[in-house]
Amino acid sequence: MVVECITNNLPSMPHPAKHGTKEDKEDEPLVFDASLLRYEHNLPKQFIWPDEEKPCLNPPELVVPLVDLRGFLSGDPVAAMETSKLVSEACRKHGFFLVVNHGIDSRLISHAHRFMDDFFELPLSQKQRAQRKTGEHCGYASSFTSRFSSKLPWKETLSFQFSADKNSQNLVKDYLCEKVGHEFEQFGMVYQEYCEAMSNLSLVIMELLGMSLGVGRTCFREFFDKNNSIMRLNYYPPCQKPDLTLGTGPHCDPTSLTILHQDKVGGLQVYVDNEWHSITPNFNAFVVNIGDTFMALSNGRYKSCLHRAVVNSQTTRKSLAFFLCPGDDKVVTPPSELVDHVSPRIYPDFTWPMLLEFTQKHYRADMNTLEQFANWVQRNKS
């Protein structure tokens, strides 16, 4: 989830701070300090969502396909075909599936969750050393209060770039040390290693997606081989009125593929068959979902699915999200095998930086991002 999202039109941007009377104080920019707001029973109005978008009680659980990668990774051709078929069914229906026996060291996953506390439990002033700047997608964000003025998410995030280019082997570590301080060098090393593992896993999944679409194992793997991706640490503090707000609003990911690891606290929900469903946490599995960029790359055959995150009043929820993105120079255009008179081209050619710019500067991402972006590209061409 590269950007924070809604399902309506763009909200107005926050007004500059005013000083003076008590009434003027209400117009000052809101600061999301989780160490204080987690105990607040009167939620600031900016966090209260419209009734039709508020969380629903006890949503049904979504039965998500469990994709076992052991046979595929061992080179078993029968297992590969069965696995690709399972992935295809999930991606055509709703775009979500779980992967197990993925080969990622469980200790690395545990460390990645544990080190999140080292950052997010810092005083707000120290976290703000890594503050995300306007128009950028990397850095620390406390509920995006500097960017939006309504339907704010109840969360903090830390986002950073990852590059699979061999000339950028320490990009994550160097960025985090620069922004947070050299005392966080081990912190940076953990997430550098985690991103490398996620990049490798995403390429394996791309092989499966290529097989399932009939374009071959190497087609998408080669396209994403030198990916320029985004890693995000999500931290959802407790909320005393969880029925009024959302941790992340309803949206489809603008990126290509999301590999999410949840802790043991539930909160992820997916919109399928006209209702919200929960996805039960499984610490041994990664949640994988298709994003808008891959939906365009597949010429609409695989779906980018609407999802959101809810919060609770008792326990902090954490998740690790790796957003696979193609290299900046890669043109997103579907393979010729996926275009014919029955399935003509749906979306125009574009590059990932174009879509990223659109979501950062022109549009607050929602379930219609790809359609709106395609219209924007066409208008700019004319």
Task: Please report whether residue 10 resides in a domain.
Answer: no
| Torsions phi, psi for 185 (to 5 deg) | -60, -45
- Round to whole Å and give the CA distance between 346 and 349: 10
- The residue ranges of DSSP E strands in the chain, in sequence order, are 66-68, 96-100, 139-142, 156-163, 228-236, 248-251, 257-262, 268-272, 275-278, 286-290, 307-309, 317-324, 331-332, 350-351
Task: Please report whether residue 334 resides in a domain.
Answer: no
Angle between helices 185-213 and 171-180 (to 10 degrees): 140
Task: Please report whether residue 183 resides in a domain.
Answer: yes
pLDDT for position 78: 95
CATH number (domain holding residue 115): 2.60.120.330
Domain that holds residue 77: 45-328+341-381
Which amino acid, one-letter code, is at 297?
A: L
Task: Please report whether residue 29 resides in a domain.
Answer: no
By three-state DSSP, how is residue 45 classified? helix
- Round to whole Å and give the CA distance between 299 and 373: 15
317 is catalytic: yes
At 79, list the tokens: 């297992």
Task: Please report whether residue 17 resides in a domain.
Answer: no
Q: What is the DSSP letter of 361?
A: I
Task: Please report whether residue 270 resides in a domain.
Answer: yes
* CB 30, CB 46: distance < 8 Å: yes
pLDDT for position 29: 65
List, in sequence order, every residue forming a beta bridge with 99; answer none if it has no partner.
Answer: 67, 286
Rg of the chain over all Cα atoms, to the nearest angstrom: 20
- Round to whole Å and give the CA distance between 156 and 143: 6
* CB 332, CB 351: distance < 8 Å: yes
Dihedral angle sign, alpha carbons of residues 164, 169, 171, 173: positive
Domain count, the chain: 1
Task: Please report whether residue 6 resides in a domain.
Answer: no
Residue 154 CA, distance from chain mean position: 15
At 19, list the tokens: 């000083």
Give per-residue pLDDT as tens, 260-302.
999 999 999 999 999 999 999 999 999 999 999 999 999 999 9
* CB 90, CB 279: distance < 8 Å: no
List, in sequence order, every residue forming a beta bridge with 68; answer none if it has no partner.
Answer: 100
By three-state DSSP, how is residue 93 classified? helix
- Round to whole Å and give the CA distance between 346 and 332: 12
- Round to whole Å and give the CA distance between 11 and 201: 37
- Round to whole Å and give the CA distance between 160 and 172: 7
pLDDT for position 12: 33
Dihedral angle sign, alpha carbons of residues 34, 36, 40, 45: negative
Residue that is written with structure tokens 């749906």 in the block? 346
pLDDT for position 214: 96
Residuewise pLDDT in 10s, the chain (382 residues): 444 433 333 333 333 333 334 344 455 668 899 999 999 999 999 999 999 999 988 899 998 999 999 999 999 999 999 999 999 999 999 999 999 999 999 999 999 999 999 999 999 999 999 998 877 889 999 887 666 778 999 999 999 999 999 888 899 999 999 999 999 999 999 999 999 999 999 999 999 999 999 999 999 999 999 999 999 999 999 999 999 999 999 999 999 999 999 999 999 999 999 999 999 999 999 999 999 999 999 999 999 989 999 999 999 999 999 999 999 999 999 999 999 999 999 999 999 999 999 998 888 888 899 999 999 999 988 6
Q: Are strands 156-163 and 257-262 parallel, antiparallel or unpaired?
A: unpaired
* CB 112, CB 232: distance < 8 Å: no
Task: Please report whether residue 28 resides in a domain.
Answer: no
Residue that is written with structure tokens 């255009």 in the block? 333
Which residue is catalytic, options 132, 232, 317, 364? 317
Task: Report the Cα–Cα distance between both ends of the chain, in Å, rounded.
Answer: 30
